[in-house]
Chains A and B, each alone.
Chain A
């Protein structure tokens, strides 16, 4: 204030007899100051609500991720038992002295060979019941692994091979601590004798966790230790591919027509309202449509990614159209006018200018829609993609399932071993989603142009 007074021109003293405009100002009174304070407090509360909302969302996300991670990480490791397996032709039940054809080898008694090796590892076990128990410690997957090993190298026959045999799920659960030792034997899936054998193996370092490659290379199974996501991931990708091949061109072309060419009249209004309504139709309704039309009327194959893709495409179409129209509308009219002004035809305006500028928006919208479709379960249940499929599908008409449905099926299985597989499946699904969103962001950045 003193500075202001110093800067005041000469002759200002006379004016100071009148009250200064500062004192007259309605913004400098005590009441005004109080009002200002209330305003700031309201502002601070408002911000606090926002922070609280974000914190709640973050906390939920952290809890969700923590649950999934803590349940699921162990699924990427599977317990194996070291065995010295004498691979004898007699034990395998092979006739003659070889060489044997791959078919003969494939049909040989691999499980029996493994079981005999287990019995030799525990010579003290003699009773029939205990031997049965012993053989159930090893998964049938161990026999498969040995078979593949020998088919790849038939020279192993007649020799003793050291293998890490895949343990059965109960053993795996016990070793990972999911089946606890302090539970009374009657309620425990792994009885005391088996626990004794596991302790014996542990003492000699003959049991360990190995990375579970099978989880990424095989399809589903009834045995938790044998399941994999490969089948459902391939099914998912095929379904998405069909969906994309259908929804993107149809959706973008429909959006371009509606936005750029369609006259504004009652018919286009009705179409517009219906597109917006369709976007909100529950997805199971689309599943019923797929069941009634594609399976029953057109007789398309059940459980096939082709039908799943078509159904999901129908479901995604409204969203793709809406996203594309929004992207087209966001292109500044000045660019259209500029192109029209030099004599471009309507199609040239759209193809040369509007579409390239709308591309990042169209792609982001489309990929996010596809990411949503990736997580879709309900409509696929209706068309039979809930099938138990143990093979990796090799075509869009083969029986297949998709990742979310696979997770749903695993979640419904009673075995303890499926708990971690379910979480691991969710992790794979989340990684796929993140990858798709990363692609969306990358494409957006790549095609984004300033104007």
Chain B
């Protein structure tokens, strides 16, 4: 772990444009985001390790969600938003003109703060992504995708008998797992989670956390959370954001036991935030 973080520090210090190092799925170099005149993200350098969970923590309005949303260009939907710097996925600049944003979002999936299933059946919720991307050539294949996605999201046993019922009729925790199933059904490489448990009760939260741990085997996961215990439980790497800056990134164990920056120290000990 320590060796790996050493190499990450190197990666951060590399000038923009250098090819990504092995083991890094996505890399942001000198990322600046502006909402109109507001400078929301200031020169962030952060790399995401492949098949690891990276947690982004920090007080409200610190830019962690902004950073997350620039990773799959969800910020594009906001008119006044401007992104500078470079973010790469497997070494390729995702803001390059040649990049197709639809394809990018299929590769970098997203789970939102509030469970937001489509007002369609459970089946259609999961099948929607594969359908628009043409991932299944017939109904049998689609059934398989839906089943395996729901299984991986740990929801299959609860909903297998009512796949035609509306997804909005599930409980909050189930809805969030349905949203995770919907995200993995497209076979993304990276899953971005924006406070996925903030609207859930502790039991549903535990469910989702277990799920994140299992998903780590196949996906690169980035999770924004306000809950530091959660960051400690599910992530391997933690990045601390403060006032638009990425203050510190390191091994999760290290950041919670031995933070290098006093702002990090202050936040995790509850002095502010």
Q: Which residues of A contact B (CB under 8 A)?
A: 263-264, 332, 334-345, 348, 352-353, 357, 449-451
Contact = CB atoms under 8 A, between A and B. Distances in A.
Contacts of B72: 341
A195 B213 CA distance: 100
Interface string B126-138: 0011001100000
B119 A345 contact: no
Contacts of A345: 102, 132
A449 B118 CA distance: 10
B186 A340 contact: no
19 contacts: A264-B79, A335-B118, A337-B77, A337-B110, A338-B179, A339-B118, A340-B105, A341-B110, A342-B105, A342-B109, A342-B129, A343-B104, A343-B105, A343-B106, A343-B109, A343-B129, A343-B133, A344-B129, A357-B119
Given A348-B132, A450-B119, A342 B183 contact: yes
A334 B103 CA distance: 20
B43 interface: no
A335 B116 contact: yes
A343 to B, nearest CB: 4
Contact of A341 (B105, B114, B132, B133): B105
B166 interface: yes
B200 to A, nearest CB: 15
A231 to B, nearest CB: 45
Contacts of A263: 79
A342 B132 contact: yes
A340 B112 contact: no
A334 B114 contact: yes
B74 A342 contact: no
Contacts of B118: 335, 338-339, 353, 451
B132 A344 contact: yes
B148 interface: no
| B102, B118, B182, most chain A CB atoms within 10 A | B118
Nearest to A345: B102
Nearest to A449: B119
Interface of B: 72, 74, 77, 79, 102-106, 109-112, 114, 116-119, 128-129, 132-133, 166, 168, 179, 182-183, 185-186
A18 B239 CA distance: 56
Contacts of A335: 116, 118-119
| A335, A340, A342, A451, most chain B CB atoms within 10 A | A342
A341 B79 CA distance: 17
Given A337-B74, A450-B119, A342 B112 contact: no
B166 A342 contact: no
B186 A342 contact: yes
A341 B109 contact: yes
Contacts of B102: 343-345
Contacts of B116: 332, 334-335, 337-338
B256 to A, nearest CB: 30
A357 B186 CA distance: 23
Contacts of B103: 343
Contacts of A353: 118
B112 A341 contact: yes
B115 to A, nearest CB: 9
Contacts of A352: 128, 132
B132 A338 contact: no
A345 B100 CA distance: 10
Contacts of A357: 119
Contacts of B114: 334
Contact of B112 (A264, A337, A343): A337
Given A338-B117, A341-B105, 6 more contacts: A342-B129, A342-B182, A343-B106, A450-B119, A450-B168, A451-B168
6 closest pairs, A vs B, by CB? A343-B106, A342-B129, A334-B116, A341-B110, A343-B105, A451-B119
Given A263-B79, A342-B132, A342-B183, A450 B105 contact: no
| A332, A338, A353, A357, most chain B CB atoms within 10 A | A338
A348 B105 CA distance: 14
Given A343-B105, A343-B132, A352-B128, A338 B112 contact: yes
Nearest to A334: B116
A130 to B, nearest CB: 78
| A334, A343, A357, most chain B CB atoms within 10 A | A343
Nearest to A356: B119
Contacts of B168: 450-451
Contacts of A339: 118, 128
A336 B79 CA distance: 15
B82 to A, nearest CB: 14
Contacts of A344: 102, 128-129, 132
Contacts of B117: 338, 451
Contacts of B133: 343
| A263, A337, A345, most chain B CB atoms within 10 A | A337
| A263, A336, A339, most chain B CB atoms within 10 A | A339
A432 B116 CA distance: 41
A444 to B, nearest CB: 15
Contacts of A337: 74, 77, 110, 112, 116
Contacts of A341: 72, 74, 105, 109-112, 183
A334 B128 contact: no
A263 B79 CA distance: 8
A217 B72 CA distance: 65
Nearest to A332: B116
A342 B116 CA distance: 12
A338 B112 CA distance: 8
Contacts of A338: 112, 116-118, 179, 182
A169 to B, nearest CB: 59
A176 to B, nearest CB: 57
A242 B62 CA distance: 56
A340 B74 CA distance: 8
Contacts of A334: 112, 114, 116
